[in-house]
Amino acid sequence: MAVALFDLDGTLTDPKEGITRSVQYALSAHGIDVDDLDTLVPYIGPPLRQSFMTLGRLSEADATRAVARYREYFSDTGIFQNRVYPGIPVCLQTLTASGWRLAVATSKPTVFAERILEHFSLRQFFELVAGSELDGSRVHKHEVIAYALDAMSVAPDRASVMIGDREHDVIGAKQVGLTAIGVAWGYGGRSELARAGADRIVEDVAGLAPELESLGNS
């Protein structure tokens, strides 16, 4: 039975408002005031602590404090400033009906991912939700993917796929040995996904289930 791992942010849901407002809140505690939330879009997808260091130019210690500050806003408010991409529920239903085993593999802490999926009535489609830990462990995508496959008792090979919108999803899939499917409706864009080496890039949600079905039949 085929296995498909899905990224969450930028793939299943559009978390732009919640994540950017949470980042804005966190940066303000370090004297960095950001009025244009669009400039914080690059924070969507990669591990958060890493982003505070590379994008926010915070020290390692300040980045750790920024993550804690981020979660103050996100855990109560930002988590639900989010929306499901149109067509995702139908896509997931189609895949499960076709016999695919589905799981979520995200760099977001598992506890937050579970709450989001339950809130938007998507949890029912997934056998497993694999994310990072609140203590900062298992944040890199290849670690999350490997953990998910192990938990599902699936050997990593090209028959299994990782689906995501950022280069981290593609690179993580390649490191573990999975087929990498990039989705162009998220925050990485076609050029980023192509540079990272995505095996296939899907332009819209309607095309995802047919693309996976074609893989399963090839």
Q: Tokens 């900062």 belong to which residue?
A: 136
Query: Which member of 7, 9, 14, 169 is catalytic?
Result: 7
Neighbouring-strand partners of residue 14 = 83
Phi/psi at 100 (5° precision): -70, 140
Residue length, the chain?
218
Q: Give the distance, in angstroms, between the CA of residue 205 and the centroid of all CA atoms in the same chain.
A: 15
Radius of gyration of the chain (CA): 17
Which secondary-structure segment (H or E) carries 127? Answer: none
Q: Is 76 exposed, middle or buried (0-12, 13-18, 19+ CB in 10 A)?
A: exposed
Q: b/e map of 196-210 (b: 16 or more CB within 10 Å)?
A: bebbbbbeebebbbe
**Is position 33 annotated as part of the catalytic site?**
no
Which positions are catalytic?
Answer: 7
